[in-house]
Amino acid sequence: MLIFFGIFFVYLFLGNMEVFILTFNKDRIPLIVDESDVIYDLLIKVSDIITIDVEKSMFIYNGKKLNNLDRVGKYGIKNNDSIFLVTK
């Protein structure tokens, strides 16, 4: 437990944060992301965990569709926030 906490602290110290991806199946997927990550890269990270069609999927945060070419920091996403994964 102490080791996990230490690694988690290092991630946060380096500017990374943990967000939660909420799926249509009510799954809650934790992801470590950085403000400089491109939204499309988050889709790729999720597709490594669950089976999704990246080209037909998108994220919704705070009631707004996230543009795949934008960076996480543009939307003001913070540590422990939830992002919804939906299909187009």
- Per-residue pLDDT tens for 71-83? 999 999 999 999 9
The pLDDT, as a whole number, for residue 11 is 47
User: Nearest CA to 59 among 19, 17, 14, 8?
Assistant: 19
Task: Quote the pLDDT of residue 10.
Answer: 47
Sketch the domain layout of the chain as residue ranges.
2-87
pTM above 0.85, yes or no: no
Q: Give the CATH fold of the 2-87 domain.
A: Ubiquitin-like (UB roll) (3.10.20)
Q: For the chain, list residues with pLDDT below 50.
A: 1-12
8 Å CB contact between 71 and 38: yes
